Amino acid sequence: MTARHRPHPASDAVTPAAPERRRGTGLLDGKRLLITGVLTESSIAYHVARIAQNEGARIVLTSFGRAMPITRAMAERLPQPPPVLPLDVTDTGDLTALAGRVRKELGALDGIVHSIAFAPQNALGGAFLETPWTDVATALQVSAYSFKALVSACLPLLGPGASVVGLDFDAALAWPGYDWMGVSKAALESVTRYLALYLGDRSIRVNLVAAGLIKTLAARSIPGSARLEEIWRTRPPIAWDVKDPVPAAQACAVLLSDWLPSTTGEILHVDGGLHAVMT
């Protein structure tokens, strides 16, 4: 055996076995999940819900106001139509009642998916310098602070090994037209790190999936989104399909599973590698 083929000295060490997947069981078998943000079939959250059920999870969805009938209609398209619970993340009454409503449906929670973001039109589209604080505050509350608010509301239902996953759009760069939503995503990334810090002693993981541009309802509302689409169609080193939310949803499913038990405070990029290269 040549030196370059010699085993590493640590290769004989005993390492923890990977979680076994028994025949007939799924990646999320037995998991109880709360999933927000299911609005259309192009929603990443919709495909997280679909994959989660196919992988053995029981789920509940949340929605509010005029979006509630839309979410209920989308729930009917899932393999097993789940309950849809009321949740406005800016309403303290809804947040206070959430744990009790979830407990009636699932008993407890093993995971949460935060897919909630909103910015007033004045906070997008290049008017960054003119955006008033009231609009900025709305964007920050709904898109960043709500992550902490949602986790805190569900904390009585989360035990050791639970996983919280949020959806992100890489905030390391300033994207044209994204403006205060970009600032909100930067805040979301920081909130994630602090949640990971303060929930670590409970063995609760908190991570983000930073998806590349997907033509969701939210993305289409960004002024100048065609320019972003062009970036994503031409620059990632691995071809990126702006109409395919499934890769990002699959990443969420992995983070919700038991396969990454020591990963927390992480931003998992699912963007064709664009975040890593200059082109």
Asked whether residue 139 is domain-assigned, the answer is yes
Query: What DSSP designation does 122 have?
Result: G
Tally of domains within the chain: 1
Asked whether residue 251 is domain-assigned, the answer is yes
Asked whether residue 194 is domain-assigned, the answer is yes
Structure tokens of 129? 């310098």
Q: Which residues does 83 contact at the CB level (< 8 Å), separation at least 6? A: 60, 61, 75, 105
Asked whether residue 110 is domain-assigned, the answer is yes
Asked whether residue 39 is domain-assigned, the answer is yes
Alpha-helical (H) ranges within 158-208 are 179-199
d(CA 279, CA 267): 22
Q: Which CATH number goes with the domain that contains 92?
A: 3.40.50.720
Q: What is the pLDDT of residue 181?
A: 95
Asked whether residue 118 is domain-assigned, the answer is yes
Structure tokens of 104? 């009636």
Which position has the token pair 């805190």? Answer: 152
| Each residue's pLDDT expressed in tens, for the chain with a length of 279 residues | 333 333 333 333 333 444 444 445 899 999 999 999 999 999 999 999 999 999 999 999 999 999 999 999 999 999 999 999 999 999 999 999 999 999 999 999 999 999 999 999 999 999 999 999 999 999 999 999 999 999 999 999 999 999 999 999 999 989 888 999 999 999 999 999 999 999 999 999 999 999 999 987 666 667 777 778 888 888 999 999 999 999 999 999 999 999 999 999 999 999 999 999 966
Give the total residue count for the chain.
279
d(CA 20, CA 31): 15
Q: What is the pLDDT of residue 25?
A: 81
Torsion of CA 158, 112, 136, 266, to 10 degrees: 90
Q: 169: closest CA among 188, 192, 190? A: 188
Q: Give Rg (Cα) of the chain.
A: 20
Structural domain of 86: 27-276
Phi, psi of 109 (to 5 degrees): -130, 140
Asked whether residue 17 is domain-assigned, the answer is no
Q: 41: closest CA among 165, 216, 242? A: 216
